[in-house]
Chain A
Amino acid sequence: MAATADPLEPFYFEHEEQQRICGKPVSPITDGFDANYPSVVDRFFTRFYYIRANAAYQVLYHSNRICLICLAPTHPALAQGIASLSFDVGNVDRSQNVVKGKAKKGGMILQADSTLALLTTETGQIYKIPSCIRGKLVEVNAALVAEPKLLEHLPEGAGYFAILLPKIENCDLIRESLLTQEQYEEHLKTNQEQNTEHLKTSTEQKEENLKTNEEMLIT
């Protein structure tokens, strides 16, 4: 008997108390379990996408308009392997961002094409991570600088580069400017053939990246 005893036996939950409230027994908390319960991202966020230099980025748009900027799962850097990440984008270090109070005073003001961070892959390619939306920088995910490899296997959302807060009045325009999940999937399909081509011309892409390096940064 002892040999076959369940090692988890001491840990099983028993709904011990039979409390009555409002004249009825309180149901055990386990009654609320839902095998198909949506994930945190599905519960509170809408997925949007932003394409830049043929690489896709994901914007997780919270119902309270807060945005998380992430790599889209198809981003080429993931396949190449992440080597390093820096929030020092040349003329400004995004990790020095400080916000104060409810209004997040002092946060850097970013445009959709402002560079948020620089991502270097193991193949030596540098990706300029765009801000994707116009808004105020609230927080950067500094943990990724110390451990950039995390980006390759963190669950959805956890690999966010930054949290941005757009102005309420800009929200409609921002959502319109981004690709929805559907549009993004459509985009993937139509670009399937071109994708191989793009890989070939990756050197051209690099040059293009360098050209846009001197973009305006409004801080």
Chain B
Amino acid sequence: MKNQELVDYLMSCGVCKVCQLRYLRARGSEYNDIHKSLQRLGVKVTEDQVEDEDNVISTDEQPLKKPRLSHCSTCLGIFSEDFQRELIEGIIASEFGKYDSEGIVLAITMPMSLQLRQLSMWFALQRKFGSTVHSNSPPDVPIKEAVKLILHPIICKKLDKKYDANGLVISIDLRHKVEEEEVDKLVELNRAAFPGKALRRVEISRGLLEKQYQPSRVKAETFEKYLPIPPTAVDESLSLKSVDLQGPMVCVAGRYRKLSRELSHTPWLLQGVRQMEDSIEEIIIRSVGPHFTETVPKITFMSSGREDVDVRCLGKGRPFVLEIPNSRRSTLTREQALAMEQAVDTSGKVSILNLQVVPREQAMNIKTGEEQKRKYYRALCALKEPATLEMLQKLQISESFDIQQKTPIRVLHRRPLHTRPRTIYSVKARLQRDNPLVLVIDIVTQAGTYIKELVHGEFGRTTPSFSSIIGKPIDIQALDVVGIDLDWPPEVDNSVAE
């Protein structure tokens, strides 16, 4: 089979120039200049064809052409210039402009008719050219692949974006008026071609079409009872059914400090009833979320551990990350970040720092080595009798020691009972000058230590405890987290211009 013969035959079946190239198995860059590629492959291009087709792959603005009477029988016009224009217009008419993502990826869903038509042409070529056309490897570059090779670069260029698998996903659903009729025929065909399976009510999917519908599995004669060989040209092109946009996942990190002793980490519900008005999560998301997305409730808040409702978090604060799906913006300027930090400050309860967009793969830093991290605390403790020199000396510990801590009663109803070993790295107690019952104790512990229980010993369930160390009852009245040794995210001073 000579290329010229093939092209002549395809032309007689109403196949467009791009599809002719597909059947010549053209690769990548060969689609850039259809005319030249055809010539290089030894195909004569007649003048009227040149005039007719030379704009097909053009990326320049062209005046609107009159609709053609006939569209390619194999691609239903997916590669035509008119269709490209419709596609671009459809994307621009969507909320595409609201996304600043530099990368895009197209996900095009094509009518099943397209696959059926490829098969029909496959049969036709076998009839025409005999055994030179294989029965189990298609004679053409599949439409899906051709779309990637041809449409993707053009759309990217027209929209001034780059291809990026992690970028904005543009999902395009295409339809064609012949689809319904052809799918009905396909259902009948399926019953005839795979009688056993039809009984099991196999749903006809695109995957099934791809797998089962090959000349090696379906006879041309069976196919032809329902659908024509070769496929017939159509008078209408494919059209857009819908354009859906899914922005990339953007991760925003920072550190938070918490001033209030009446603020939960995340919304606190007890039997469906809200226990506290606000939460750290909500205060932060309220100021940061709307910049990135309209679907603020879909944002996930993560932090490197958490503190109890009544515990302040001071010092450099606790690292956190917001995972923002379907994000419209992927960047944050220092000015914008500063404005958000200031907005959070107005809560008077929470403050954030070092706010920045971070690479998605770094977001998991926050959870790594959580158990190994050191945590720094300051506790306000109360004695029942005035502190003595001996007590204070016992509570100056610079060498680390291990404690055994049973699951605290306050969480025992919802967590398993375990006795966990925890390391206390140092203890430093100081006395309030005007009240000998009041101790301020700085504690460095392994993450996961329950500090309140470490102080009072919880009826002997944490041993040793500060209470057992001094041999006297001691209670904790207030606790501050003063440091978390995670050097992430990087420090950024958003009040300094870039």
Using CB atoms and an 8 Å cutoff, list the residues of chain A in contact with chain B: 7-8, 11-13, 19, 21-24, 26, 29-30, 32-35, 37, 39-40, 44, 62, 64-66, 68, 99-102, 104, 138-139, 141, 143, 154-155, 157-158, 160, 163, 165
Contacts and interface: CB of A to CB of B under 8 A. Distances in A.
A102 B459 contact: no
A23 B412 contact: no
B440 interface: yes
Contacts of B456: 40
Given A12-B432, A26-B314, A141-B459, 18 more contacts: A8-B389, A11-B429, A13-B430, A13-B431, A13-B440, A19-B315, A22-B259, A22-B349, A26-B312, A29-B478, A29-B480, A33-B435, A62-B410, A66-B409, A68-B459, A101-B416, A139-B417, A163-B409
Contacts, number: 112
B328 interface: no
List of 8 A-B pairs having minimum Cβ-Cβ separation, nearest first: A13-B430, A32-B478, A64-B413, A158-B459, A13-B440, A11-B392, A29-B380, A12-B433
A39 B435 CA distance: 19
B460 A158 contact: yes
B198 interface: no
A33 B477 contact: yes
A20 to B, nearest CB: 9
Interface string B423-440: 000000111110101101
B416 A102 contact: yes
A37 B475 contact: yes
B477 A64 contact: no
A21 B259 contact: yes
Nearest to A15: B440
B433 A13 contact: yes
Contacts of B475: 37, 39-40
Given A12-B433, A13-B430, A32 B409 contact: no
Q: Secondary structure at chain A's binding surface: helix, strand, loop or mixed? A: loop
Contacts of B416: 99-102, 104
Contact of B412 (A29, A30, A64): A64
B387 A8 contact: yes
A24 B345 CA distance: 10
A40 B432 CA distance: 22
B380 A65 contact: no
Contacts of B312: 26
B417 A21 contact: no
A21 B409 CA distance: 33
Contacts of A8: 387, 389, 392, 431
Interface string B402-415: 00001001111111
Given A8-B387, A64-B412, A139-B406, A33 B460 contact: no
B156 to A, nearest CB: 45
Nearest to B350: A22
A37 B412 contact: no
B378 interface: yes
Contacts of A22: 259, 345-351
Interface string B338-369: 00000001111111000000000000000000
B151 to A, nearest CB: 52
A154 B467 CA distance: 12
Interface in B253-272: 257, 259, 261
B382 interface: yes
Residue of B378, B409, B416, B460 with most partner-chain A CB within 10 A: B409
B477 A21 contact: no
A57 to B, nearest CB: 16
A12 B459 CA distance: 29
Given A26-B259, A40-B475, A102 B415 contact: yes
Contacts of B351: 21-22
B392 A64 contact: no
Nearest to B479: A29
Contact of A21 (B257, B389, B432, B435): B257
B446 to A, nearest CB: 22
Contacts of A39: 475
Contacts of A154: 460
Contacts of A104: 416-417
Contacts of A7: 389
Looking at B345, B387, B413, the one whose CB has the most chain A CB atoms below 10 A away is B413
A157 B440 CA distance: 25
B430 A64 contact: no
B473 interface: yes
A26 B478 CA distance: 14
Interface string B307-327: 000001011000000000000
Interface in B362-391: 378-380, 382, 387, 389
A138 B417 contact: yes
A33 B430 contact: no
Nearest to B472: A155
Q: Which of B414, B433, B459, B475 has the most CB of A within 10 A?
A: B459
A99 B432 contact: no
A23, A29, A102 pick with most chain B CB within 10 angstroms: A29
Nearest to A67: B409
A67 to B, nearest CB: 10
A141 B406 CA distance: 12
13 contacts: A11-B387, A12-B431, A13-B433, A21-B351, A22-B348, A29-B379, A33-B477, A34-B477, A39-B475, A65-B413, A102-B416, A155-B473, A158-B460
Contact of A37 (B314, B409, B435, B477): B477
